[in-house]
C-alpha cells in the first residue's frame, strides 16, 4: 500500500489582483516606440540595471523615458546614457538625478561580443523597453543600425500595403459568410 505524502502541496496562489500591473511584470514600465522607426533592430537581449531606491519607485510609477537613451561600452562596462527617470514624488533631499548615467549588468562574454559588433560593424545599442521581472528592473537592449530617410519611407509603404491587404482579406471573409 502506498504511503500518503508527508505534507500537503497547494498550487501557487494567484498574484495579488490589487497590485500594480507594472510592478507585477504584466505591463512594460517604459517602451521606446521611436526606436523601431529610426533604426533597424537586429538583435535584442535582456540586461539588468543598477538603480537607487527612489529610481525603482519612479519606474514603478511609470516615470521612465527611453526616447533619447543609448548604450555605451566604456572601460569594460556597459552604461545607459540619457535615460530620463523622473524624480520620486515622495522623495526627500536624497532623491536621484533624473538623467544620471546608469550601469547595465551583462555577462562578460556578452559584453565582449557586443563590443566587437559595435566597433567593427558600426552598430549602436538602443534600449527598446524597460520592465519588471521577478521584482527587478530589466532593460531590453537592441543592436541597431540607423535608418536613412528613404529606409523610413520604404518601411512606412510596406506597413501601409500590409494593412490594406489584411483589411481586404477581412472584407472578403465578411462578404463570404
Q: What is the full DSSP assignment across 99-111?
A: T--EEEE--HHHH
Q: How many CB atoms lie within 10 A of CB 101?
A: 12
Of 66, 26, 21, residue with least CA distance to 47: 66
Reported as a single tens digit per residue, the pLDDT across 86-107 is 888 887 777 887 888 989 999 9
First to last CA, the chain: 60
Cell 544620471: give the residue: 100
Of 68, 62, 65, residue with least CA distance to 89: 62
> Which pLDDT score, from 0 to 100, does residue 16 have?
60
Of 74, 46, 72, residue with least CA distance to 130: 46
pLDDT under 70 in the chain at which residues? 1-26
**How far does Cα 108 stand from its chain's mean position?**
21
What SS3 state is found at 126? Answer: strand
d(CA 70, CA 105): 15
> Which pLDDT score, from 0 to 100, does residue 107 have?
92
Amino acid at each position: 500500500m502506498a504511503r500518503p505524502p508527508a505534507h500537503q502541496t497547494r498550487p501557487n496562489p494567484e498574484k495579488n489582483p490589487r497590485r500594480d500591473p507594472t510592478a507585477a511584470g504584466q505591463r512594460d514600465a517604459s517602451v521606446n516606440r521611436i526606436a523601431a522607426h529610426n533604426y533597424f533592430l537586429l538583435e535584442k537581449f535582456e540586461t539588468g540595471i543598477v538603480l537607487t531606491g527612489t529610481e525603482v519607485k519612479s519606474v514603478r510609477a511609470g516615470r521612465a523615458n527611453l526616447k533619447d537613451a543609448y548604450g555605451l561600452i566604456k572601460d569594460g562596462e556597459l552604461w545607459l546614457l540619457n535615460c530620463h527617470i523622473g524624480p520620486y514624488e515622495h522623495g526627500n533631499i536624497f532623491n536621484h538625478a533624473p538623467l544620471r548615467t546608469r550601469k547595465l549588468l551583462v555577462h562578460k562574454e556578452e559584453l565582449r561580443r557586443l563590443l566587437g559588433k559595435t566597433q567593427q560593424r558600426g552598430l549602436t545599442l538602443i534600449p527598446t523597453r524597460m520592465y519588471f521581472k521577478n521584482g527587478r528592473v530589466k532593460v531590453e537592449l537592441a543592436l541597431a543600425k540607423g535608418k536613412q530617410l528613404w529606409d523610413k519611407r520604404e518601411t512606412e509603404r510596406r506597413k501601409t500595403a500590409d494593412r490594406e491587404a489584411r483589411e481586404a482579406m477581412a472584407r472578403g471573409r465578411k462578404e463570404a459568410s
